[in-house]
Structure 1
Amino acid sequence: MKKRTKAAIAIVLPILAFASLGGYIISQKRNHEEKTIISTSKKGNKEAIRQQQLAYLKEHEQEIIDFVKAQSPKIESVQIDWDQTQWSDGGLTNPEYYINVFGRINNIEESGWGVDIPINDDESVDLEEMIMGDYISIVGEPIA
Structure 2
Amino acid sequence: MKRQVELFLIVLLPILALIFLGGKIMNLTKRPEQKITTTSSKKVVQKSKEEIKKEQIAVLKEHEQEIVDFVKAQNPKVESVQIDWDETQMSDGGLSTPEYYMNVFGRINHIENSGWGVDIPINDDQSINMREMFMLHEPTIDGKPIS
**Fold conserved between structures, TM > 0.5:** yes
Ranges of 4+ aligned residues in structure 1 off by more than 3 Å: 38-41
Please give the alpha-carbon distance, in whole angstroms, between the structure 1 residues aligned to 2:96 and 2:55: 28
Query: What is residue 118 of structure 1 aligned with on the other side?
Result: 121
The 1:77/1:125 distance shift into structure 2, 3 A limit, reads: same
Q: How does 1:58-77 map to 2 (within 5 A)?
A: 58-77=61-80
- Deviation readout 1:93-129 (Å, 9 max, x if unpaired): 1111000000000000010000000000010000110
Please give the alpha-carbon distance, in whole angstroms, between the structure 1 residues aligned to 2:76 and 2:35: 47
Task: Tell me which structure has the larger Cα radius of gyration.
Answer: 1
Query: What is residue 94 of structure 1 aligned with on the other side?
Result: 97
Query: What is residue 42 of structure 1 aligned with on the other side?
Result: 36
Please give the alpha-carbon distance, in whole angstroms, between the structure 1 residues aligned to 2:85 and 2:35: 27
Please give the alpha-carbon distance, in whole angstroms, between the structure 2 residues aligned to 1:103 and 1:41: 29
Structural RMSD (CA)? 1.8
Q: How many residues align?
A: 107
Q: What is the one-letter code of the residue matched to 2:129?
A: D
Gaps of 5+ in 1: 1-37
The 1:111/1:47 distance shift into structure 2, 3 A limit, reads: same
Please give the alpha-carbon distance, in whole angstroms, between the structure 2 residues aligned to 1:133 and 1:97: 14
Q: What is the one-letter code of the residue matched to 1:79?
A: Q
Please give the alpha-carbon distance, in whole angstroms, between the structure 1 residues aligned to 2:80 and 2:105: 14
Q: Which has the higher strand share?
A: 2
Q: What is the one-letter code of the residue matched to 1:108?
A: I
TM-score (normalizing by structure 2): 0.68
Is 1:79 matched with 2:82?
Answer: yes
TM-score (normalizing by structure 1): 0.69
Please give the alpha-carbon distance, in whole angstroms, between the structure 2 residues aligned to 1:128 and 1:39: 25
Deviation at 1:50, TM superposition (A): 1.4
The 1:137/1:41 distance shift into structure 2, 3 A limit, reads: closer
Please give the alpha-carbon distance, in whole angstroms, between the structure 2 residues aligned to 1:125 and 1:131: 13
